[in-house]
Amino acid sequence: METTAVAGTMGYLAPETATTGRASKESDVYSFGVLALEIACGRRPIDHGNKEGGVSLVSIPGI
Q: What is the DSSP string of 31-58?
A: HHHHHHHHHHH---SEETTSTTSSEETT
pTM of the model: 0.65
Cα 46 to Cα 52: distance, rounded to the nearest angstrom: 12
Per-residue confidence of the chain (63 residues) as pLDDT tens digits? Answer: 565 666 777 788 888 887 888 888 998 898 899 889 888 888 777 766 666 655 566 555 554
Polymer length in residues for the chain? 63
Q: How many helices (H) and strands (E) does the chain have?
A: 2, 2
